[in-house]
Each structure stands twice: as C-alpha cells, then as structure tokens.
Chains A and B, each alone.
Chain A
Amino acid sequence: MPEVRIKTLPPPHGGKLVDRVVRDPEMARKLMQKCSAVYDIKPTLFKGNPVRNVYREIMSVCYGFFSPVEGSMTKAELESVLEKRRLLSGWVFPYPILFDISEEDFKKLGVGAGDWLLLRLKGEPFAILEIEEVYEIVPGDVAVRTFGTPEKNPEVVKVPFDQKHTGYNIYCSLNPIILAGKYTIINEPKLREPFNRFWYPPKRAREEFEKRGWTTVIAHQTRNVPHTGHEALMKNAAYIGDVKPCDGIVVNAIVGAKRIGDFPDEAIVEGHEMVHLAGYIKPDRHLVTFTLWDMRYGNPIESLIHAVIRQNMGISFHMFGRDHAALGEYYDIFATQILWSKGIPSFGFEAPPYAVDGGFYIRPQNIEEFWFCPKCKEFAYSANCSHKGIYSRYSGSFIRGLINEGVMPPPEIYRPEVYKVVVKWWQKFGYPFNNEKYLKEREERLEVDLPHMELPAHLKK
C-alpha cells in the first residue's frame, strides 16, 4: 500500500542549503586581507528613487534562501537563466542575480577576474565578492528577456512591459558592468525591530519546524497587510496536508523596496502576526517570516523564486492565487496557475515546475479566489459560491482607497486588531503609506544594522 503520510521536510532546492556567512571575526579578518579594494553598496535608482538594493540579494544568497545560487551570475549562467530558466547545473532558477557596477566605479576600483572585493554597507564591512568574471550587459535587453514578450511568450504575456512595471524598471536601471562571483558575508548584520522576530532563514526555519513537529507546511506569499480574504485563503488552503491538514502555515513576506502608497513592511509583518496574537489562527500553527528581496512583480516568474525560497525553508506546499505577485495587466491573471498546472513551454516548462528535471519538491495549491458572500454567510470559495451579484470580491487597492477616503474598513474586510496595527505604523511614518520621506529614510536605515568592524590597513587608503 502506498505511503500517504509526509514524514520529512522537502530537501533544499539543488540538494544542499547554501550557508555563506562567516561568524568567526578572526576568519573574517583573514578573508578581508585577501581583498584588493572596497566598494560601498549603492541602491539601484529609477528616476532618482530607490527600487532595489543588492544587499538584499546578498543576504538571501548567503543565508540560503536562493540555494543553490552562491553569488552574482556569470555570463553563461545569466544566458542559461534567461533562455531556459535553469542554472548551468540544471536546477530551475527564474531570475538573473547580478552584482552591477557603473563604468566609472569599475575604473576607480581597478579590479578584475581573480580579485576579491570587500563590499561595505552602512559604512561597515559587510561581504566579500570573489570576482570570477567581469562582463557587460545591456540592461534593457535583460529586462525584456526576464519578463517575456507577447510574441515570445504568447501563452501568458498580454502586453509589452514598460516603465509602469517596477520589476522591469529594476532590470532597466542596472549598471552595465557585472562582477560575477561568489558572495560571503563576513560581518553578520543584526536585523532591526520589528523584523528581527520574523527572521527565519532556511536553516532556522527547518529547525523551527522540527521543534514544532511539523512535516507538512504550506506557504502564504504576501506583500500586504492581511484582509479577511487572505485569512480565509490561508486557513482553507492549509487543508491540503496528507491524512490531516497541514501542520503549519508559514507566511513569508517579501521585504524590500516598495512603491509609494503600498503598506510599510513593518505593518505587513506585524499585521500578519496579529492574526495569531489575536487568536484568528492558533499561534502554534502559524509562523510569520520574511525574505529580503526587491519584488520584481513577475507573476509566473516570481512564483518560481517563491518556490525556491520556500522549498529551501522546508515548506511542502505553496498557495498560488489569482494575479500572484502581479502588477498591472502584463500577464494573464492566472499565469502562475497555468505554470503550476500544465507548464508554460515558452518559458522552458513543458510541464509544471514540480514535474521537470531540476524542478521542485514543493507542490502547488492553486486557489481561484475567496470572496465575501452574505448568502453563504462565509468567506466563500469562488468554485463553490454562485451567488453572482451578491458576493463581494476583495482588492487590496480597494481597501487602500477606502482608507484614503477616511473610511475605516469594516470587520468583514479587516480584523479590527489588524487595522490597528496599520494605524500604529501610520502614527509613526505618516501618510501616504511608503511616502517619499519614508522610502528615502528607509533606504538609508535598511532592515539591518552592522556591527563595527575595522578595515585592514591596506584597504584604508
């Protein structure tokens, strides 16, 4: 008789968790001695506004969220990812991970292949880049190939990407010189409040699951303060499990550069935490976590990075909803679900990503939509409820619009405790959410602080 119980967590993507964090200061000093230059990390700007900070990618690589990727991609690796969504090793990976630098900075540094570059963050040593290759890119070309076009990817891309798409702008705004090579964090950052209590890199997440006795875990992707529709999605998707529903529900928020008007990340992680603090999901079944990543809003492509991250964390199932990680109408609203139910050949998936070579163990839970139905008297699943004209569909933009009009969202939309978390951060950061001042200060403050570490004498010049 086939075994139906799921007794272990899925293996890391690529077989082994990457851990490139040096925790021994003496070792860090020795490694710094090998560096020939220092570079202060700068945010990627689009029209003067920060849209990305490569430090977040370095954190996600070195703490194993992006395993098996170990650093900035070589030219051959980049081509492989853009052409096939596969690393050279054959493992599925969706996005270019690149350390870009301007021609001017490159000339000033005077480094080349074989050199080690010390990367400084907030004025302190942070990480080392072992330069393996230096090459040039055409940023606009990388952007187009990353997200696809209606001609090349007609299954899901509806209109060409343009400057109203944040992810496209990130790639268009990259510097033209790429330094490829492995990253190593040599000065472990301290996560700031309130992020520190939600910091569960893959190794720690797996330890936590084992401590709690979880073997079936489902991931909820978020970039929003949770409304009651999200809560219904989490609770109902978690019924998948094996002989019983999933042991754990893991919320993994994507924390990074945001758009003016979005909710601040502080409110997002604490809003989700309030779901268990206020008892709507028992805290022993619910864990709030985050990953540092400047969201690319790549819908099906983004769902692949989500699978990489969450499988590495030890998560067995992933809920994918309508318009997953999307922005605007560039992709079909069900593009992610198409990918995870039958594949998208033009993106290199003749079959779903769990059924291809180099694919995932994590399994999708494709969910259509939950809405509020007063006749069903519940947060109804769209495949069940046929009360057209009666039910009300959720929309994060609609809720932000309500708040903007000075209307307190009713409890049918927001749990009152969750809304009060929004108010807490509104008091601190002002309005609109993620205003220019907040975004600017946040890019200086970041999500981490770095302990002081002396530079070696040869790098002080």
Chain B
Amino acid sequence: MAKFLGVIIDEKRMAAIKGTPLEEKVESIFGGALRRLVIEVPDDLGQKVIDQFTKARFDARGFIEETPAAFKRAIFKRIAEMKELSAAVVEKVLAEDLEKVKEEAAKEDKELPVPDIDISDVLELQKNPVQKPA
C-alpha cells in the first residue's frame, strides 16, 4: 500500500511555485481553509522516513505525519527545485539533506515559540466551570 507525504502550502510557498505545473496540483482541504501538495511514496520509502525521526508515524489515512518542520521545509524546497511530486523528491532529501534537517530538527524541538494570541476569553470562561472539584 502506498504512503503519502503532505506539505502545507502557505502564501510564500504558493508564490514559489506560481506558474509551474505544480500550481495545478495544489489541493484544497477543509473547504479551502488549507492547501497542500501530496507526494505518493512506496511503503519501504515511507518506512525509511519514519525511521529517521523519533516522533514520526503513519496516521490512519496512510500519511507520514509528525516529521520535523525542517523536514517538510526541505521536502518543499526540493519539490520547487525538481518541479515534481515523485518519490525521487523524498529520496533526494534523505540522501542529501538529512544531516542538516536533523540539526534543525534538534533546535526546533526546543525553540518553537508559543503563538502570540490573546487567550483571555478562555481564561474568563474557565473562571466559573460548570463542573466543580470533587
């Protein structure tokens, strides 16, 4: 059974592939709330990716998930360079970018900043919970 690797396409990434054949392959998901590109890979290559990262796993949809953000960045960079969505992209990243990806992944595990959003409304809701302590 094939496995899949999805890469989220934000505005910056969309701009990088504008005008290329990749643009047509961008899928809209969750009613257009997100966009992504998907690479299909054979089982053994999927497993090879999983083996590189401690948190990585196949999810119930057959997608390779919870890989480091650095890995996804490297995959996108190679997609844009090679202008294709093939297993060769993943093989290239594993062969040539893995060391750098792992270095960056080690940093991102410590450095992902808390999103700067106002959470005062939920703290207010929690002040008077319906369920009281036992």
Chain A: residues with CB nearer than 8 A to chain B? 191, 196-200, 204, 259-261, 270, 273-274, 276-278, 283, 287-288, 322-323, 326, 328-329, 333, 372, 374, 392-393, 395-398, 400-402, 404-408, 410-413, 417, 420-421, 423-424, 426-427, 431-432, 435
Contact = CB atoms under 8 A, between A and B. Distances in A.
Contact of B55 (A260, A408, A423): A260
Interface in B50-82: 54-55, 57-61, 63, 65-69, 72
B88 interface: no
A322 B61 CA distance: 11
User: Most A CB atoms within 10 A — which of B68, B72, B122, B133?
Assistant: B122
A288 B131 contact: yes
Contacts, number: 128
Interface in B109-132: 109, 112, 114-115, 117, 119, 121-123, 125-126, 129-132
Contacts of A261: 55, 66
B37 to A, nearest CB: 14
Nearest to B31: A374
B58 A417 contact: no
Contacts of B109: 431-432, 435
B67 A407 contact: no
A278 B125 CA distance: 7
Interface string B14-33: 00000000000000011111
A154 B81 CA distance: 46
A328 B131 CA distance: 35
Given A260-B55, A374-B31, A417 B8 contact: no
Contacts of B55: 259-261, 432
A328 B112 contact: no
B69 to A, nearest CB: 5
User: Most A CB atoms within 10 A — which of B33, B58, B121?
Assistant: B33
Contacts of A287: 131
Interface string B85-123: 000000000000000000000001100101101010111
A420 B121 contact: yes
12 contacts: A191-B134, A274-B126, A276-B130, A287-B131, A322-B60, A329-B58, A398-B59, A406-B112, A412-B33, A417-B122, A420-B119, A423-B115
Contacts of A278: 122, 125
A420 B122 contact: yes
Contacts of B117: 408, 420, 423
Q: Is the interface of A mostly helix, strand, loop or mixed?
A: mixed
B15 to A, nearest CB: 17
Contact of A401 (B10, B58, B67, B134): B67
A75 to B, nearest CB: 36
Question: Across chains A and B, which 4 residue pairs bring their CB atoms closest together, nearest first?
Answer: A397-B65, A410-B33, A374-B31, A196-B133
Nearest to A421: B122
Contact of B63 (A191, A273, A398, A427): A398
B58 A197 contact: no
A259 B129 CA distance: 29
A397 B66 contact: yes
Contact of B130 (A199, A283, A402, A421): A283
B34 interface: yes
Contacts of A410: 30, 33-34
Contacts of B8: 402, 405, 407
A404 B121 contact: no
A274 B125 contact: yes
Nearest to A432: B109
Nearest to A279: B125
Given A395-B63, A424-B123, A404 B31 contact: no
A395 B122 contact: no
B7 to A, nearest CB: 9
A395 B10 contact: no
Nearest to B6: A398
Given A198-B131, A424-B122, A435-B109, 5 more contacts: A395-B63, A401-B72, A408-B117, A412-B31, A413-B30
Contacts of A400: 65-66
Contacts of B58: 328-329
A198 B51 CA distance: 38
B114 A423 contact: yes
Contacts of B119: 420, 423-424
B39 to A, nearest CB: 15
A98 B23 CA distance: 57
Given A274-B125, A278-B125, A432-B112, A398 B65 contact: yes
Nearest to A204: B134
B129 A401 contact: no
Given A197-B131, A333-B60, A404 B68 contact: yes
